[in-house]
Structure 1
Amino acid sequence: MKLKQFIAVAFTTLCLGAGTSRAQPVELTFANALSLPQVEPYQRAVDEFNAANPDIKVKMINTPWVEYWQQRRVDTASGKLPDVWLFVPGFGAEWLYGNKLLPLNKYTDADPTINLPDANQTMLKYMTLNGKLYGIGYDFNGQVVYYNPKLFDEAGVAYPKDGWTTDDLATAARTISKKLNGNGRKVWGFAGASAEWVFEGWFRGFNSRMITDDGKYGANNEGGAQTISFFMDMIKDGVMPIPDQKDPNAQAQSLFIGGTAAMALGVGHATYIFSDAGVDFGIARLPVGPAGQVGTGLGGAYVISADTRYPDAAYKFLAYITSGPVLAKVVTTGVPARTSAWGKLSDRMTEFAGKVQGFEPFNAVKGSFQVMDIQKRVLSEVWNGSKDVPAGLAQIATEADAALAKAAAK
């Protein structure tokens, strides 16, 4: 009898112990490519999430930028992509178009707290493919016109206003150069024409495209020629310097800081650069072209791997890490991709952020970065006058279409 009682007690104790023991937490990997100053705020956010969600344990992995994308390809080949990971359009196109990401609609449609209207709409557009949402942005960027109020005042030219046109920009640049040049003084009315992703916005403003929706070079046409000619005419008139082949952005910034360029094209980080340099500047939204508002936006997002073992937990973390309160803490070098997270931005960065709202997403398909390299190389010959506009666009189209087709076939 005693033996039977012992067995019964032991069995009961075992069962109670099994029923009251805590299940092991779900483990998620969170992959990033952060610079050193960004690591601490992100790790702190991860720690806070883990503390608030004992049933989930998130481990952050940080890899240098170049190695990051190489590692994602290794992960893909081995079937071990991270659960939640940093995604940037263009670099990540092969995963977006290759069905490697988890659609989020099932979760966002049922989540009353996700507040997608608060999220950057440019990034939501880019991360939506065939009606399915695959990621939520964490930051975003775009191009604006920075202008020097002192030079505008000296030349008696009105400051740029929202709704100004490409003709208004060219007229202001020519007027300033004409009035302020002479007696050994050289003032460029305008500087900066990068052949990178921002240039698609200018093409769109002239009713053209850098990369079409079907993945081909779309600027070898009248609109594309008008776009290039818009800048070429200012170069020929001595109003705009020939863009530096290596770094036209740095060239424009240097001239602007030195007070020898009245206007300079630039993206968000130029706001920091000019502020730190003590330069007085204004920020203008890009002008309206013949076909409408120019402007292309781009940024980063977080995505979930399609083969994650824990989609529910992964979505819970993704919604957290892309929420307004968290983005306000972790995005320290740009503009958070939620309007509610702008509270800690400087006044100038908030102004910049407002100027790039509503931009169209850059069509960053597989091969788009090769197209930028081709365009940059060939346009350098157009800018310096060794190749005319039609010949340059024809060459870009031939090389770009081949690069896009090759990338798409991989």
Structure 2
Amino acid sequence: MVQPIVTHTIEPRSIDTSSVTESAFHSVSATYATDDLADPHSLYAQLRRTTPVMKGDILALYGIPSQADYANTGRPVFTLFRHADVAAVLRDDKTWSTDLLKDGLGTFLGEMFLSARNGESHRLLRRLLQPCFAPDVTRRWRTHVIAPLVEREYGGQWRARGRAELMSDLAMPFPILAIYAILGFPDDPASVTQFADWALQILNGPQIDPEKAKASMARAFEAADLLDEHVRGVVAARRRAGASGEELIDRLIRTEVDGERLDDGQIAGIVRMLLPAAAETTTRTLANLMVHLLQDERLLARVRTDRSLLPRALTESMRLEPVAGFLARRALRDLDIGGVTIPAGSAVSLVMGSANRDEAMFADADSFDLDRSQQANLGFGYGLHMCIGMPVARTEVEVAADMLLNLPNLRLDPDRPAPRLHGLQFRGPDAVHLRWDTK
């Protein structure tokens, strides 16, 4: 019999991310941003026309860490800008491998880093994880964890405030609170903030500058070790308690495929893999969606009036401004793309932010269109390595956005600077100042 989900009581405004976690978040932003390219989309459009397969890594050219060569090995790298080429690489796991990811974040995330696995190893782990993120599970989390958390932490209190800064007040702390409750961690506000800080230190590990890399890599390794140690303790405690709940750790303990199960170390590794995404990409996805809505009065009115459009609005926002602007693969054989020879062992840097605005795939590609077909959107990845936590991330963003849209006359604060999206990878705003009516 399915046990009722155990929800966690977290006192309102119990999380303060204004210190170490907020600092770590902005450090990640600085690592993946560049002052030399304020509008990457104009450049991408030009390169789709003139150099759709570019020799070299555009991220490295702008001094930004790249999945294509996180370890700075000097391997040949090519950058792909067209939707057709990017999608073809992502769906062909016989020709393209993700094993190069082990050199970067995989160094800190360990053997359970799903994105770096290929072949049977990837298929088995994904089969073990898939039931834990099934649609019915996500719906239960929405009803019993995510929606109550949003209302308790933000809904009632925010209505009387009249103003807020979206990033520090909601977009940073909320995804951390949500994944913490979904996982089944004990109620400990200090640990929530500490886990989030460790996750962000891991993301900030890879650097282009060798001197910066020495310090950031050391911090990332230390953060990964501390995170692993603490998560193992939580997993062991949940196993001793019977692991009968619907929290994610309990489900990971119970999941079984063909007699294969996960041990405590493997589950800790999976949790360590999930936390950076919860502390980073969900934050920026929510912020980017709200910026798109608030900068277009007609769009905002349409979605506010018909909340069933929120999922479509989120998908379109992810198309226009995917947080993960780049993915990478390694060629397993020599091949030709657009007349350019890609030798075996070379890497390709896949520009998701360009592919999602390819005029050959999307009419009026630079516009926000709620009614366009969304099947070709690569915002959450594509193919066998599509983000397994996508349903949870989408649910968190939709629930939080729905709460925000309930605020009367929600608008950007005209007395504060307008939000600006920046960064090539981990793209989003640093601040979004909001106002709304309180009467």
The structure that is helix-richer by fraction is 2
State the structure with more CA Rg: 1
TM exceeds 0.5?
no
Q: TM-score, normalised by structure 1?
A: 0.30
